[in-house]
Structure 1
Amino acid sequence: MPRYNSPTKSSGSTRSCISFFETIGDDDLERFGGKAVNLARLRRAGLKVPIGFSISSECFSEFLAGLDGSDRILQQLESATDLEEALNCAANLESLGSSWRMSGETKKQIIDAFTLLRSMVHEHGAGYAVRSSANVEDSRHISFAGQAESFLCVNGTENVIDSVRRTWQSAVSFRSALYLREMGVPLSSVKMGVIVQVMVDADISGVMFTANTVTNDPSQIIIESTWGLGEPLVSGKVIPDTFLLHRKPLKIVQRLLGSKATIATIAMSNQQQRIMLEDTPLSKRTAFTLDDAELLNLARLGMKVENILGGPQDIEWCMKDSQLIVLQARPVTTMKSC
Structure 2
Amino acid sequence: MSRVTELTTDPRTGETGPAQPVLFSEDYYRRIIKEFDYSPFDLRRFDFSLAGLGQEELNLRYLCHHAADRYVATPVDRRIVTTGFGMSGAPHMATASHIMKMVRLQAGGENCQIVLGDLDAYNGRGRSYGFTEDLAERFCVFSERLGFDAVRGVLRNQRDHAEALTNMYLLGRYTQESDFQGAEEDNHAYYASRGIVDETMTFRRRLSLALMASDFVTLGQTHEAVLVLLGVDEHKYVRFAQEVARRFDGDAPLRGDFALSALYARLNTGFNGHPKFSKSIPGSGISVETPAAEIRSLVENDESRDPAHSPVFQLMHQMTYCSHEELVRINQDCLENNSRWRAEKKNFAEYLVTVKEMWPSGE
Q: Fold match, TM over 0.5?
A: no
Considering fraction of residues, name the structure with more helix. Answer: 2
TM-score (norm 2): 0.25
TM-score (norm 1): 0.26
Higher relative contact order (CA 8 A, sep 6+): 2
